[in-house]
Amino acid sequence: MRVAAILTLLIAALLFGLGLFTHFKAEALETAAHNQGEIIDIGGMKMNALHLAAGPDADLPPLLFIHGASGNLQDPGQAFIKPLMGRAEMLFVDRPGHGFSDRGGPENAFPDGQADKIARVMDHYGMSQAIVVAHSFGGSIAASLALQHPEKVKGLVFLSAATHPWPGGVGWYYRVASTPVVGWLFTHFVSLPAGLMQLTSGAESVFYPNPMPEGYVEKSLIPLILRPATFRNNAEDVVNLHDYVSRISAHYPEIKAPTVIITGDADGIVLPNIHSTGLARDIKGSELVWVHGMGHKPDYVATDLCIAAIEKLAGQPRDLQAKAREVEARLARTAVKPTLTTGG
């Protein structure tokens, strides 16, 4: 009995320490993050957005950027703001429950609910129509936006998009974090300290086999995903995605917006032969651009190709297939070499 009591006290002390660490570390992460966006009210819900005006010599229509899972508006912002500054009106949005945006109601655990909120953000800034650039999970939201608000979508650029049902499931930690009660315990005691130890290696795996840009994790505010509520929101998004796209993908042939799909054959996060080829099959007239040797982050490793896709949708003559070959040649010189290990 004495041993059991001591063990109980030790476990309680450990949990208390982990909970205390999580609470103060989450506050520190949020305080350290410099929010470049603006908190706006879209009808009883706060959303965080970064809106940049077009310059006097703008040659592109308005652009809307939608980030993927585990991210926030700083992720596409770091990739696209500098090379596109002044060329177009640009809108970057923290999806509901991510970055500095509220989660809102239960409908925002699904891409169509998030698409509706992003449409309201567009209305707030008077952006009636835009070319939508969406990465990974954001692809399902861009597709939903095109179906629900087609008048707002001038064109679509899908980057390593997740849009179709896939075989298998999702990571166990997503399942645990999204489970009632257990998920609260997991995110308040386990996920933040464990995540801190794997944050850099996890980000590197998203870029693999391409090198991760120096300072990417810090500049893109990736640590914000480890806050308990945000981690849980992200897990709900991912867990709900399969059933959602199983229902909604049948409607993709209804999308009429001009579309470019950019994907890498070395993407180890999203299966391009299911999602990207599925989009090319379902959206009539779309152009699929394959890049050999590219992983899951074309927004960073092939930014010039992504911008060329935007330019083409804006009516400028661009040979995207030739541009992809240029990117391939560049990536071949910078590919990360696999680490050799010995088995026991």
Mean pLDDT of 199-205: 97
Confidence of residue 342 (pLDDT cuts 50, 70, 90): very low
In the chain, the percentage of residues whose pLDDT exceeds 90 is 85
pLDDT, average across residues 282-293: 98
**Which of 30, 142, 160, 159 is CA-nearest to residue 95?**
142
The pLDDT assigned to 13 comes to: 65
Give the relative orientation of helices 111-124 and 228-248 as an angle to the nearest 10 degrees.
Answer: 110
Residue 339 lies inside a defined structural domain of this protein:
no
Q: Is residue 257 part of a domain?
A: yes
Q: Is the pLDDT of residue 160 over 60?
A: yes
Q: What is the CATH number of the domain that holds 159?
A: 3.40.50.1820
For the cut 50, the answer to whether the pLDDT of residue 259 exceeds it is: yes
Residue 121: which domain range? 15-334
Burial 90-111, CB ≥16 within 10 A → b, else e: bbbbbbbbbbbbbbbeeebbbb
Q: How confident is the model at residue 192 (pLDDT cuts 50, 70, 90)?
A: very high
Whether 5 is in a domain gets the answer: no
What's the distance, Cα to Cα, between the start and end of the chain in Å? Answer: 41
Query: Strand, coil or helix: what is 158?
Result: strand
Residue 231: inside a domain, yes or no? Answer: yes
How confident is residue 213, by pLDDT bands cut at 50, 70 and 90? very high
On whether residue 138 sits in a domain, the answer given is yes
Q: Please check whether residue 162 lies inside any domain of the structure.
A: yes
d(CA 205, CA 162): 17
Q: What is the structure's pLDDT at 33?
A: 87
Higher pLDDT, 146 or 339: 146
- Strand pairing class (46-52; 90-93): antiparallel
pLDDT at 253: 98
The answer to whether residue 8 sits within a structural domain is no
Specify the range with the lowest mean pLDDT, choosing from 24-33, 198-207, 213-222.
Answer: 24-33
Task: State the total domains in the chain.
Answer: 1
pLDDT digit string, tens, across residues 308-339: 999 999 999 999 999 999 999 999 998 887 65
Assess whether pLDDT exceeds 60 at residue 340.
Answer: no
In a domain, 9, yes or no: no
Task: Please name the amino acid found at residue 250.
Answer: A
pLDDT classification of 341: cutoffs 50, 70, 90: very low
Residue 234 confidence (pLDDT) above 70: yes
Average pLDDT, the chain: 94
Least confident stretch, 157-161, 243-247, 336-340 = 336-340
Summarize the confidence of residues 133-155 as an average pLDDT.
98
| pLDDT tens, position by position, 33-64 | 889 999 999 999 999 999 999 999 999 999 99
